Amino acid sequence: MEYRALGRAGLEVSVLSQGGAAIGQQYGPVSVAEVAACVHAAVDAGVNLIDTSAYYGKGKSEEILGEVLAGGWRERVVLCTKAGRLDRAVFDFTPAGMRACLEGSLRRLRTDHVDILLAHDIEFADDPDRVFTDTAAVLHQLKKEGKTRFVGMSCYPLGLLRQAVERCDLDVVISYCHYTLQNTRLVTELRPAAEARGVGVLNASPLAMGLLSRHGPPPWHPAPPAVKAACAAAVELCRARGVDPEVLALQFCVAEQRIPSTITGTAKPDELAANLRALREPTDRGTLDEVARVLEPVKDHVWPSGKWAG
């Protein structure tokens, strides 16, 4: 397993990280036994960062992780969780709300602190400026209290996340769907500002929330039709060439040295095995080039998210 520095945080993180959305049953049922086998195998393989949220399964992801990380596994990982988003349309970024959310997370995770705490999906805040002041202040206070070692924020719009980096003295941010086979804006639009301030950047959703998977995106996926069609064509091309599109997509992300770690939402051992295979096997450069040509008409296309209109 390769490890890279996560900004100024002083952390060395594995290039592949474990995401907690699927553990929270976001993509279908998964048993505690399956999660335990997956997480333990990942840690044994060298994965040392696990990212979850109070939002995933309304706490179910944290609850299951608390169970499977008992018995010494917690001490082997950098544990990240996110607060402020409680349900699909329920958000509370107030200082009291953030503090209460974290306390619930700590109980479910069976720990007295997390390593990284993020304000989750800040583009849904009614007033982003309050996130940059009040929410940021409580994050730093929780850090002083020892409830978390590092603090940060996450969201989809890169312009808003860049403002958070520039204004909030953060340690870490998570961006999703912005470094994939279809979209590489993360390294051009966010990475320079983060690097200038020593902020670590984690890349989530290398499959663009299912766009680049064999199963395809969920019905609610917000990408425009042209992006969905191009990604489907890219997946079909991979199939025709005998290449696993999920493996190719992850290989593309991990190859970017400016990204410390890519978070994948695995919950079952067979999914983890495919991800680990991506780290071992050589990239099919010919297919990668063909996929790039197929996706060129929708290169770096994005979609709206949340209330931020910047």
Angle between helices 245-254 and 269-280 (to 10 degrees): 60
Backbone angles phi, psi at 154, to 5 degrees: -140, 150
- Dihedral sign (CA 12, 15, 16, 17): positive
- Report CA-CA distances (Å) from 176 to 6, 16, 59, 158, 280: 16, 14, 21, 9, 24
First to last CA, the chain: 39
Helix H or strand E segment including 69: none
The C-alpha atoms of residue 244 and residue 236 are separated, in whole angstroms, by 10
Catalytic residue check, 3: no
Among candidate residues 3, 27, 55, 56, the one labeled active-site is 56
d(CA 297, CA 61): 37
Active-site residues: which are they? Answer: 56
